[in-house]
Structures are given as C-alpha cells and as structure tokens.
Amino acid sequence: MDYSVDGSISSLPYPMFHRFCSQILPQIHHKIQWLHLELLTMNAILLSANYPNLYGLGLYGLKMQKVTYLFTDETLLYRFKNQISSLVIDIVDSDGANSLEIIRFIFTHLCAMFTNLRYLNFGPSLSKCQQLSFGTSSLEVVSSTISELHICVPCFLDCLYLLDGRFNQLHTLYVYITFIYVPQETINHKAYYILNNIFDSDEKIL
C-alpha cells in the first residue's frame, strides 16, 4: 500500500506492486521487522518471502465481515503466532447489530492466537465500529503477555473488566472512552478496589 501526504492509504499500481513482491522483498526480507498491510495485498506480501526477524504487524482498512477469518489456524497469520510481539488492528466499517459480537470475537481470538503478544493497538483510528464492549456477558479473554494496550470502549465500566486481573502483565493502558458515566449501584467492592489502586499508584495508567 502507499501513503499519501494527507495520511490516506491507497494501493500501489500493479506493476510496481508485482516488482515489490517478486524482486525487492526477497532481497530484504531478513531485515524487515515491521510490516504495515492492507487486507487486499496482505497474502501476496506474506507469501513473497520468509520474515525471520518480523516482530511487528499492522493491519489497516479491514472490513469487519472479512476480518473474522484472519485469526484462525487456516490463515497465513497463523505461521507468525509465536513471532509477533506488536500488533495493530484497524477496522474501518461496521456490521450493524452484529458489530459488538464480531469485535468481541476478533479481540478474543487474537489474544489467544499470538502467544508472545506484548503490544496491542486495537483501533488506532478511534472508530466507533471497533469499540470493545463487555456488556452484560463475560468476555472470556485472558492474556499473560500483553503489557501495553490501546483500545476504545463505549463506557467507563468496560475499563473495569480490563483491569480485573485478566491482563496480569498490563502496565500501560491507553483507552478512549465514548461516554464516561459510572452508576454507583453497579460497581461492586472489587471495582472500587481496582479504581483505588489505579489512582493511588505511583505508576500511571493512561
């Protein structure tokens, strides 16, 4: 993909992209540590060479209905499941009523799939369609490796789920909250304990 001056992303012309995959990548593949990819060209780039030093991966312009299959053992990403330690996921459209469930599915599976994941930016464009909401259901996601998390949530209560111990190595949290409202009757003693630890701690969680 190609970046323009205004920050937008567009595809390279096919002759240029073909030369990039067939000639350039095989020569420099061992030096590549980060790849920023879009869905349409991802497979071609990943198949062009081996990337023994790749540790960072950014996936941009993803369509919600087409992204659910990415985090299974049937895709090319699976071969990097023990290699990637930094991951950026940017979804640009929604699927209406099913959006929340799809986002939960994606977030849960990528946390389980990448076994050495330490940095996760889940929604760098701060799009509402990529908000992670725990709602009334218990989201079964646990990570003992993620130490820095960037995420969008609909309300403040969703932050409490992220800080309840399921991310036991988390030391830095960047969170965009759409609506900050905390109904006191819904916060139990554990939530108060979490909040007190956050604001009394010498280490800042942003």
Strand partners, 150: 121, 174
pLDDT at position 134 is 73
Greatest distance between any 2 Cα atoms in the chain: 62
DSSP state of 146: -
- Residue bearing tokens 């909040």: 195
Cβ 37 vs Cβ 16: under 8 Å: no
Phi, psi angle pair for 63, to nearest 5°: -90, 135
pLDDT at position 147 is 95
Phi, psi angle pair for 147, to nearest 5°: -110, -20
The tens place of each residue's pLDDT in the chain, 206 residues long, gives: 544 444 455 567 788 889 999 999 999 999 999 999 988 888 899 999 999 999 999 998 888 877 777 877 677 888 899 999 999 999 887 666 678 888 888 888 888 899 999 999 998 887 777 888 876 555 677 788 999 999 998 888 888 788 878 888 999 999 988 877 655 555 555 455 555 555 444 444 44
pLDDT at position 10 is 59
State how far the alpha carbon of 1 is from the alpha carbons of 16, 75, 123, in Å. 10, 20, 19
C-alpha dihedral (98, 102, 135, 172), degrees to nearest 10? -150
pLDDT at position 202 is 44
pTM (two decimals): 0.80
The two structure tokens encoding residue 118: 């330490």
pLDDT at position 85 is 97
pLDDT at position 6 is 46
Phi, psi angle pair for 146, to nearest 5°: -65, 125
